[in-house]
Structure formats: structure tokens, C-alpha cells
Amino acid sequence: MAPEGHWTNHEGQEMIFLAGNKALWLTQFGSQNDTDYFDYRLDCSAETPALDFNGFQTGPFTGKTLFGIFEWTSD
């Protein structure tokens, strides 16, 4: 199972999940745009599903992992 398509928020950020556990993080701050490539790992086997991001190629998260948990709100 993998996240599908585009996830967006109201702050000008968008995550695009691609095949092979690859993704893009698009940000927009005023007139500045940035694209960061990263890897993701989705684990739905745990009681609390986890979606972790790592392998950032540029930006402030290079060399770091962002650990996340999430809640399903619908199918």
C-alpha cells in the first residue's frame, strides 16, 4: 500500500507520492518556490500507522528523518 497522488495544505505546500517510495515536496513562500526530493516509508501493520520521510536531497532536512503518524478519516 502506498499513498496516492497529491496531498496539499492551505500554506502552499504539496507532496506528490511517486512509485518506488519516492516523493516530491513542493513549497511556496510568497514568490519563492522550492522542490525537495525524498523517500518515504509507509507502515500500516502497526496499531498506529506510520509514514516516515527520509533521503532528502536538499534543504534543511538533508540527512534527517521526519517521523510521522496519521489517522485514517475515510477510505
State pTM to two decimals: 0.74
For residues 13 and 9, give the distance between their C-alpha atoms in angstroms, rounded to a whole number: 6
What is the model's pLDDT at position 40? 93
pLDDT of residue 54: 94
Q: Report mean pLDDT in 10-residue bins for the chain, 75 residues.
A: 72 87 86 88 84 88 86 67
Distances in whole angstroms, Cα of residue 34 to Cα of each of 12, 16, 31, 48, 61: 11, 13, 10, 31, 13
Position 70 scores a pLDDT of: 72
Write down the pLDDT at residue 75. Answer: 60
Sheet holding 6-8, edge to edge: 6-8, 13-18, 22-29, 32-43, 50-54
